[in-house]
Amino acid sequence: MKIELKGHSFEDAVRQILQLFFDINSEFDVITELDIEENIYIAKAKITLGTKQAEGEIKERFSSPDKRQISDLIKKSVFFACRKLSDMPAPWGISTGIRPAKTARMMLDEDKNDSEILRYMQEEFFITPQKAQLSLDVAKKEFGLLKNRVENGVGLYIGIPFCPTRCSYCSFISQATAHNQKFVQPYVEALLKEIEETARMAEDLGFKAETIYFGGGTPTTLSPENLNILIKKVKKSFDVSSLKEFTVEAGRPDTFSDEMLGVLAENKVNRISINPQTMNQKTLDRIGRKHSVEETIRAFEMTKKYDCFSINADLIAGLPGESIEDFQRTVSDVCELSPHAVTVHTMYLKRAARLIDDFEKLRFADNMDKMVQYSYDFLTEKGYNPYYMYKQKNTLGNLENVGFSFEGYESLYNIYIMEEIQTILAMGGGASTKMVKGDRIERVFNPKEAADYINRIDEIIDKKRKALEFLR
Ligand code: SF4
């Protein structure tokens, strides 16, 4: 691929749009050009793909445009040209950011009404009416929930990078416990140390934990004893007097036991995520999850015996070999289990995109778009509301992941992390601490591999201590 820029340097913007429609490794030439005549800015794009050629052009009047406005203008010209060459659904138009509800929320902050917001999203970004409505729905939920934040509140994230087996599509560095048993105990010891030291830093900064999230990996892969020790350590070390939400991801239904649930209940965990991903046994076997649909159903039944947990269920649209009908069955079967919240993820297609031809890609993306729309229609009909959303960057179709919940069962942690309005102190392998100070954000990352994390724990704590100086 050859990209030529004339009169501007927004190559990233050009690439972001091309990636919505084509494999970036395809043989094509792109020429984009920006001309300015008085206050009229004219962006032109010409794409040559084999024997096919298409052009796009747009003019807008600006008095003194900022970088984002120019970048959007370039994107629009490339988008018009791509549209002529490809049928790929691009329901988010030129909106390629990972937080698609942010524009709608900022407009709510400015007291804009619904029709102004919907019109702006469709006209400025070429977002379809359905996706614009979804953004507005999510933004309104967030708008209400973000008002009641705890002063000096932070989120705590504890990462447990172990799983019973490794799923074929896993993009985390999660280790199957069967092969890594020897790391588990030293990992817990190192994590206890990081929790204690991070709590000292938090106390020094006057932070109060508003949410706690045990994620991974699969935290419930740990023994109930280890889980109990870790949870108690967190609750004893941090100021949890303002704690509103405590989530533990119990992603794999095959890690459920009465003992584990008893530990979570005793420690006042109030949100559990059970992740069926699909209710189709053939798919579960194909993707290496090594648990059965019956185990998923049993996990729900066991959890529901306790009335202290709200349950979230994670699903994935576009799992290998699944038809739209398979996905539809999964959505309705999961709803039968009455979770309080359902999160629908879209399959990460970047890797798959290289391996399949153009027709397959189109079918893939089109099916995904239909699955995602189906989940929205079905779940909202059942009384679930979309409350948080994010997109994976640079993926075919550029589709969204959406959290739905019954009223009052929204996850604050998910909203806060997505909106980047609160510091997240993260502990454990692969955890990333996000420090928010006004409009500025800094991050510090822990190593992903368990062995690396264990061996470098003192250095990790030191690095975090220095990084947190940013918040003073
Ligand atoms: S459960 Fe999640 S973290 Fe664990 S292997 Fe599967 S995809 Fe990866």
217 lines ligand 1 (CB under 6 A): yes
* Contact indicator for 218, 163 with CB cutoff of 8 Å: yes
| pLDDT of 399 | 83
319 lines ligand 1 (CB under 6 A): no
Domain 149-340+409-467: which CATH number of 3.30.420, 3.80.30, 3.40.50, 1.25.40: 3.80.30
Helices (H), 314-431: 324-336, 350-355, 358-381, 412-419
172 lines ligand 1 (CB under 6 A): yes
* Contact indicator for 302, 286 with CB cutoff of 8 Å: no
The CB density around residue 241, as the number of other CB atoms within 10 Å, is 8
- If one looks up domain 2-85 in CATH, what number appears? 3.30.160.100
- The model's pTM is 0.91
Using DSSP, state whether 444 is helix, strand or coil.
Answer: strand
Residue type, 423: T
Helix H or strand E encompassing 453: helix 450-455
How far apart CA 189 and CA 208 sit, in angstroms, is 24
Residue type, 241: S
Q: CA nearest 413: which of 230, 273, 260, 228?
A: 273
Q: Which residue has tokens 């817990």?
A: 188
The CB density around residue 232, as the number of other CB atoms within 10 Å, is 13
CA 279 to chain centre: 22
91 lines ligand 1 (CB under 6 A): no
Helices (H), 205-272: 224-237, 258-266
Ligand 1 centroid from CA 310, angstroms: 22
| pLDDT of 215 | 95
* Contact indicator for 62, 68 with CB cutoff of 8 Å: no
How far apart CA 273 and CA 96 sit, in angstroms, is 28
Using DSSP, state whether 317 is helix, strand or coil.
Answer: strand
250 lines ligand 1 (CB under 6 A): no
For a pocket test of ligand 1, which of 166, 177, 343 has the largest count of ligand atoms closer than 8 A to its C-beta? Answer: 166
| pLDDT of 397 | 63
* Domain chopping of the chain, boundaries: 2-85, 149-340+409-467
Output the CA torsion 77→390→339→159 (10° steps).
Answer: 150
Tokens read off for 161: 């990078």
pLDDT in tens, the chain (472 residues): 799 999 999 999 999 999 888 877 778 899 999 999 989 999 999 999 888 999 999 999 999 999 999 999 999 999 999 999 988 888 999 998 888 898 999 899 899 999 999 999 999 999 999 999 999 999 999 988 988 899 999 999 999 999 988 888 787 756 677 678 899 999 999 999 999 999 999 999 999 999 999 998 899 999 999 999 999 999 999 999 999 999 999 999 999 999 999 999 999 999 999 999 999 999 999 888 889 999 999 999 999 999 999 999 999 998 888 899 999 999 999 999 999 999 999 886 555 445 456 666 666 777 888 999 999 999 999 999 999 999 876 555 678 999 999 999 999 999 999 888 899 999 999 999 999 999 899 999 999 999 999 999 999 999 999 999 999 9
Helix axes 177-204, 224-237, angle to 10 degrees: 10
How far apart CA 166 and CA 127 sit, in angstroms, is 36
How far apart CA 263 and CA 50 sit, in angstroms, is 62
